[in-house]
């Protein structure tokens, strides 16, 4: 039980074809394909937004901006 053979799959496809018709099944497949494509595109754009690319100048500026905060943290830990 629970295993589908070729015959069962063909019967299910035949029933789906009778219920929905050929053009409707094609539209459903097209919609699913576009949905998957948009999902992958969204995932890729999300990854790009999370990890912005830094140039050499940006990297240096970010290190200089972070240094005073790190020094302040270290000095407060020493005084405690």
So what's the pLDDT on residue 36? 96
Q: How confident is the model at residue 3 (pLDDT cuts 50, 70, 90)?
A: confident
Q: Which residues have C-beta within 8 Å of that of residue 16, sequence separation ≥ 6?
A: 25
* Lookup: tokens for 40: 């992958």
* Alpha carbon distances (Å) from 61 to 27, 54, 67, 75: 52, 10, 10, 22
So what's the pLDDT on residue 38? 95
Q: What is the pLDDT of residues 26-78, one digit of tens each?
A: 999 999 999 999 999 999 888 777 665 555 555 555 555 555 555 655 666 66
Q: What is the pLDDT of residues 6-25, one digit of tens each?
A: 999 999 999 999 998 989 98
């Amino acid at each position: 039980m629970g295993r589908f053979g070729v015959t069962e799959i063909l019967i299910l496809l035949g029933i789906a074809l009778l219920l929905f018709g050929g053009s409707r099944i094609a539209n459903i497949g097209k919609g699913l394909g576009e949905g998957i494509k948009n999902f992958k595109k969204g995932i890729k754009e999300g990854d790009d937004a999370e990890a912005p690319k830094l140039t050499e100048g940006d990297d240096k500026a970010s290190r200089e901006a972070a240094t005073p905060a790190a020094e302040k943290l270290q000095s407060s830990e020493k005084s405690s």
